[in-house]
Structure 1
Amino acid sequence: MKIVWIDSKSNQNIITDFVQDVTWSGSVNQATRQLSISVLYSPIDKNIKDLGIKMGDRLLFYDEGYLLIDAMVYRRGKQSEQGTITYDAYDELKRFVKSNCSYNFNNTTPEMIVKTLCNALKVKVGNIAETKVPIKKLLVESEGFYTVIMKAYTKAYKASGKKYMPIMIGKKLSIIEKGEMVDSFYLSDKVNITTSNYEESIENMINVVKIYDEKGKQVGVVKNDKNINMYGIFQDAYVKEEGVNATTAAKNMLIGVSKEASIEAIGNIKCISGYAVKIKYSLTGLTGKFWIDTDSHTWSNGVHTMSLNLAFKNIMDTQEE
């Protein structure tokens, strides 16, 4: 583990020895990833140096030789009882979440929209998932940059069924296909899982989607008869869009029994939100492929642990017009 502090004069300072605890976390719906560190502090002990990390300074966090996050400090707070200062820093996706814009996009693609938005915020472009899905028109009036990206890629999702999410790699924005498997790794109660929880819910169920044209006339329907017979009708509606297969889009709106699980385990830096992981847990029956919705990794006293919230279905953060 290594933490580098870059101050306002671009000086690089390795501060690993001053840091007590580190938490690196993210969520599929949160977009931006966060780094929180606690640094030793004592106004009466001259042997404990006040680093003087300020708002806008950057923190780079490395583990196993990889740069996990390049983040800007947004918040700090002193805890006198514990003798520490905590710093909260976020990657550059925070700019996309906090900034609003207005655009009238015509005859373009999701990937071109992303490049336009990155240019506006002076954020470098990484690997952008290529969809080649045509967007005839997307009107944006004072909406978040992140929301606009997800609106564009929601159109691509409706057309192809592929799911996408943005992620920062260093200071470059990439758009990846959501649900990629964590390579050569699995979680097991016999190897690395310490605790787990599991629950089921039908609160978000949709088992009937009626399809309408632009004049409000119903032109189709998709449904899940098994869930209708068991739970009754939970209905939604879909209005046809140019360039999108209406039946495919409607089917993607169907939601069955939601299953969620949470685990705590020995940490692995590859287990982050948006990726999938294999699990073998004999005590709860959690066996198979699961998708990471939220993750929180903690380094304390030289030990790396992680808490993961898992989904049984790969669901994209869709944004409708």
Structure 2
Amino acid sequence: MEAGDTLIKLILHIRQGAFWDITDMVPYVRISGDSANISRTLETEIFQNIYDKQLQSIGILEGSSICFYENEKELYRGNIIDVSKSAKSHTVKITVKDIGYNLGSVKISKNYNNITAEKIAEDVIKQSKLGIGKIAKTNIKLTRFFRDVSAYEMIMTMYTLASKTTKKQYMVEVELDKINVIERGQVIDISFDENNNIYDLDHNISIDNLINTVTVTDNKGNKISQNTNSELSKIFYFIKNKIIEVEDKNKATKEVINAEYHGSDYTTNLTGYGNYNCRSGMKVHVKEPQTGLIGEFFIDSDTHEWSGGAYKCTLGLNFNNIMDSKEAGSDKEESSETGEGDESLGISFSGGATSNEKQRIILAEAYKMVGKGRYTYGGRSNIYNTDCSGFIYFIHKKAGITVGSATSSQKSNGKAVSLKNILPGDFIVMGSKYSPSGRHVVLYVGDGMIIHNGGPAGAPITKRKLYTYGKYYVRRCWG
């Protein structure tokens, strides 16, 4: 297949079988990626005729590998993770992921003490049985304890911590069979110009999520302070506020308050003729006077498509260089400090039957949210935008149970339970050095596992192994 002056080739290697050149069987090849995902995805489809002997002999299998070439240069390599067949359209749709998919799937438990971020990255990649490529140097030694954390989160956590000192932004990228860790925002050797290679460009500005006022209250709802950002108030005069609750007013620092302000949101999508170097995390120059976009922009998402003899790319652009920050694990080993009942973590946890209907609903609602939502400190508008206590509040509300919407009240809700007698559906309020309230709450779901909304800002709800920190309270509200 030719796309303009570009010759492309798509090679399929059947799992433990033969190699096939399927270039002429596919109407398009589409490769995409974004800053929030380590893996890049290739999509294509094949028209399937039941009388096509060649297609029958190929026998496309999940797990088989795909290689994509442009002008004899290999651009992409991955494995088929999904094969979808349609009787109506007579097509076989293929979805492929590169080795970034493996890095995001492998879970590791390991402690690192006073080791540089780059050495930890190399060790994690090696444990994932992947190739080690270019690894950015930080020379920042760190200590971190991980339990059941993905390899990708471990690497990005260490570089997130290192970036606080180096003031640089980092990203993980895949280079065929190797994993690289590089500085984010490197300039690529192509520019987009309205008179040259821009097909279309949409630029939108919205203040729907603007926050110009932050109100700080104590855990009883008494106002401590109201803070207004004068620059954001010039954009929108009326109050658009957010309330944050703190146990200790000294924790409502200027840094904490400033982090809650939110200005205008900009969304920019450019479609044009670039090249495969235009990928998420890179920086590109754009000149488009009609929308006023002139300068260098960071690529947040990218889609490249070769179809019908033509090539185009669509880029999601950002004014800011935003790293995919992670803060998994802990800088202290998971605590076995005692709480109510003087029980330790050195016990055997039961999965526990869920014969109680309210208990069953709490667990079902919690599992529905794993991998979803965005951690929003003080968020109470809906279950998709909450903090730890807001998450507990909403899943209990679904079961017809009223609990407090803050950890200060949740630690007294229901009845106290000793840790050795904990059952699925119980929650644990514990200490936290990250939250302004000084507390965190998690839901126990059985077999030594919890589901919680643990942050950082924007992160989804996750499932992980049970831990406690500082003084804790185990509460049961379902029975």
Please say if residues 41 and 49 of structure 1, whose CA atoms lie closer than 8 Å, have aligned partners that are also in contact: no
User: Which of 39, 43, 62 pairs up with 2:46?
Assistant: 39
Which string of whole-angstrom CA distances, capped at 9 and with x for unpartnered residues, describes residues 72-103 of structure 1? 11001113333321111111110121222211
User: Which of 96, 107, 114 pairs up with 1:107?
Assistant: 114
Superposition pairs of residues 1-321 of structure 1, within 5 angstroms: 1-9=8-16, 11-46=18-53, 51-135=58-142, 137-183=143-189, 185-201=190-206, 226-227=231-232, 257-321=264-328
Task: Give the distance between the partners of 1:64 and 1:307, measured in 2 at CA.
Answer: 21
Please say if residues 280 and 287 of structure 1, whose CA atoms lie closer than 8 Å, have aligned partners that are also in contact: yes
Task: Give the distance between the partners of 1:159 and 1:253, measured in 2 at CA.
Answer: 22
In structure 2, the CA distance between the partners of 1:282 and 1:267, relative to structure 1 (3 Å rule), is same
Which string of whole-angstrom CA distances, capped at 9 and with x for unpartnered residues, describes residues 90-128 of structure 1? 111101212222111111111111111112111010111
Matching residue's letter, 1:297: H
Task: Give the distance between the partners of 2:188 and 2:63, measured in 1 at CA.
Answer: 33
In structure 2, the CA distance between the partners of 1:88 and 1:264, relative to structure 1 (3 Å rule), is same
Aligned length: 297
Task: Give the distance between the partners of 1:173 and 1:204, measured in 2 at CA.
Answer: 36
* Deviation, structure 1 residue 168: 0.9
* Deviation, structure 1 residue 207: 8.8
Task: Give the distance between the partners of 1:114 and 1:207, measured in 2 at CA.
Answer: 39
Which string of whole-angstrom CA distances, capped at 9 and with x for unpartnered residues, describes residues 50-89 of structure 1? 5212111110111133321110110011133333211111
Gaps spanning 5+ residues in structure 2: where?
Answer: 1-7, 215-227, 245-253, 329-479
* Deviation, structure 1 residue 255: 6.6
Gaps spanning 5+ residues in structure 1: where?
Answer: 210-222, 237-246
Aligned to 2:4: none
In structure 2, the CA distance between the partners of 1:102 and 1:169, relative to structure 1 (3 Å rule), is same
Q: Name the SS for the 1:200 alignment partner.
A: strand
* Deviation, structure 1 residue 261: 0.4
Identity within the alignment, %:
29
Matching residue's letter, 2:46: V
In structure 2, the CA distance between the partners of 1:145 and 1:203, relative to structure 1 (3 Å rule), is farther
Please say if residues 301 and 315 of structure 2, whose CA atoms lie closer than 8 Å, have aligned partners that are also in contact: yes
Q: Name the SS for the 1:304 alignment partner.
A: strand
- Output the TM-score relative to the length of structure 2: 0.56
* Range that drifts further, 92-101 or 286-295: 92-101
* Deviation, structure 1 residue 172: 0.5
Task: Give the distance between the partners of 2:106 and 2:94, measured in 1 at CA.
Answer: 22
Please say if residues 125 and 151 of structure 2, whose CA atoms lie closer than 8 Å, have aligned partners that are also in contact: no
Which string of whole-angstrom CA distances, capped at 9 and with x for unpartnered residues, describes residues 117-157 of structure 1? 1121110101111111111x111111221111110110121
Task: Give the distance between the partners of 1:286 and 1:171, measured in 2 at CA.
Answer: 36
Q: Name the SS for the 2:27 alignment partner.
A: strand
Structure showing greater Rg:
2
Matching residue's letter, 1:190: N
Task: Give the distance between the partners of 1:45 and 1:101, measured in 2 at CA.
Answer: 45
* Deviation, structure 1 residue 224: 7.7
In structure 2, the CA distance between the partners of 1:207 and 1:32, relative to structure 1 (3 Å rule), is farther
Q: Name the SS for the 1:146 alignment partner.
A: helix
In structure 2, the CA distance between the partners of 1:140 and 1:271, relative to structure 1 (3 Å rule), is same
Give 1 or 2: higher strand fraction: 1
Task: Give the distance between the partners of 1:108 and 1:205, measured in 2 at CA.
Answer: 40
Please say if residues 207 and 235 of structure 1, whose CA atoms lie closer than 8 Å, have aligned partners that are also in contact: no
In structure 2, the CA distance between the partners of 1:132 and 1:176, relative to structure 1 (3 Å rule), is same
* Range that drifts further, 227-236 or 25-34: 227-236
Task: Give the distance between the partners of 1:63 and 1:288, measured in 2 at CA.
Answer: 29
Task: Give the distance between the partners of 1:153 and 1:234, measured in 2 at CA.
Answer: 30
* Deviation, structure 1 residue 206: 8.3
